Amino acid sequence: MGDSREKYMRRRRFLACGLGAVACVAGCGTERAGNVLRTGFSITTAGRRWAPVGKAFAGAARSAGFAAAVSHAISGTPATGTGPTGGPTSGGPAGSGPSGGGPSGGGPTGGGPAEGGPTVGGGPVAGTGFAITVSGLPALAAAELNNTQSLLDTATPLARLSGQIEVVVVPERSPLRDFGDFAARLLASPQQTLLVGGPQGEPDHLLFGLIARAIGADGRRVDYSGYPRLGEAASALLSGKAVAAAGPLADWRTAIGRGRVRALAVSSARPVPDLDVPTLLECGVRVDFADWTAAFGPEDMPAESREQAVRMCEEVIGSSAWEAACLAAGWIPIPLAGDDFARWLGTEIARTRAVLRDLGLLDSTKATTCWGSCGNGH
């Protein structure tokens, strides 16, 4: 036991010294948490949609005693949008439920190529520390849509961070009484059941694709109109143009509370405690879905650096500060790190690719993917 402990302590000192040397070469700072020197990290978000999570993660990292700075990549995607009641929406990233289920991601929102893209680059960054990039499902799906390398090819998976549940809603006066009615209509008349949500290839669209697959409907026949902002999709729904909409539960809560729309089902595996709405699984649909956000290192991250970064992520996402940050922002913490996260990400990529293919998006990306205010002629 004594020899083993001494070896363990020597290994910890070696890792700390090695990482500290690399960080110092890069000019990065460190700080002390108690009597332990904590390595510094530079946290970059791959686009503005991930900025809230990146900021919260950096704050939780500092609370855990790590030196952490956060910056944001330039992107055309706004961090906030217009909600279905005319107010701002959270615009932040989302994640899968506690079961780690959601198999989808989205393409970019508004105006162009994939936001942030799937590429995560850089080693230690001068003045700040080891490079960690916060990204998520939109980058994953965009890589598939653009026929570029996936996150597994261009980055080092470190940890899954947070998530947000999606919801399927209909107008308050809709004749569809419950999710069963909606599923029956979608199965019988997919081309006469206009669905709305975010841009094509985004999580809202992919959720409907998963539902179609689960109930046996042809995803290629699903009539979906994508919009860059939630308010536009809500207008199409409330004006009677659309039958149903999908979107982040946090963004639809006000409209649900005011009785403007009815929630038919939530996408998480477990019920939402303060919402009397069934899950898709409870409705007999084998779908556990949400939009997740995760931390990635550079593609060529050394093994020792990855090990230390994974430990840092595990400590942060397991902290009370991170749980509090998620609660305040309306996210759910979905911790999964290291090799377990890398394996999960591999299955997520495969499922996302399959759903995009079901929807016909992979065969003719330019013709079917709407980067702006699409409307599909509706």
Each residue's pLDDT expressed in tens, for the chain with a length of 378 residues? 444 334 323 333 332 333 233 233 233 333 444 434 366 778 999 999 999 999 999 999 999 998 888 887 754 443 333 445 443 333 333 333 333 433 333 333 333 333 444 334 434 444 456 789 999 988 898 899 988 888 788 899 999 999 989 999 999 999 999 999 999 999 999 999 999 999 999 899 999 999 999 999 999 999 999 999 999 999 999 999 999 999 999 999 999 999 999 999 999 999 998 899 999 999 999 999 888 999 999 999 999 999 999 999 999 999 999 999 999 998 889 999 999 999 999 999 999 999 999 999 987 443 333 333 344 444
User: Which amino acid, residue 100?
Assistant: G
With contact defined as beta carbons under 8 Å apart, do 251 and 166 qualify? no
* Tokens 């083993």 sit on residue: 4
CATH code (residue 184):
3.40.190.10
With contact defined as beta carbons under 8 Å apart, do 203 and 137 qualify? yes
Same domain, 7 and 148: yes
Query: What per-residue confidence (pLDDT) applies to 24?
Result: 32
Helix, strand, coil abundance in the chain, percent, nearest 5: 40, 20, 40
Same domain, 268 and 196: yes
Q: Distance (Å, rounded) from C-alpha 359 to C-alpha 378?
A: 19
- 361 belongs to a structural domain: no
CATH code (residue 27):
3.40.190.150
- 363 belongs to a structural domain: no
Query: What per-residue confidence (pLDDT) applies to 202?
Result: 87
Query: What per-residue confidence (pLDDT) applies to 149?
Result: 84
Other Cβ atoms within 10 Å of 26 Cβ, number: 18
With contact defined as beta carbons under 8 Å apart, do 97 and 290 qualify? yes
The encoded tokens of residue 157 equal 């998976």
Radius of gyration of the chain (CA): 21
Query: What per-residue confidence (pLDDT) applies to 130?
Result: 76
Same domain, 260 and 315: no
Other Cβ atoms within 10 Å of 303 Cβ, number: 8
- For residue 325, the enclosing domain spans 2-163+293-356
- 178 belongs to a structural domain: yes
- 364 belongs to a structural domain: no
- 34 belongs to a structural domain: yes
H helix or E strand, kind and range, residue 369: none
- pTM as predicted: 0.74
With contact defined as beta carbons under 8 Å apart, do 283 and 153 qualify? no
Same domain, 303 and 156: yes
- 232 belongs to a structural domain: yes
Same domain, 42 and 145: yes
Same domain, 273 and 297: no
Same domain, 181 and 283: yes
Query: What per-residue confidence (pLDDT) applies to 138?
Result: 86
Same domain, 231 and 203: yes
Same domain, 147 and 196: no
Same domain, 169 and 156: no
- 362 belongs to a structural domain: no
Give the total number of structural domains in the chain: 2
Other Cβ atoms within 10 Å of 184 Cβ, number: 12
Same domain, 117 and 8: yes
- 206 belongs to a structural domain: yes
Same domain, 29 and 143: yes
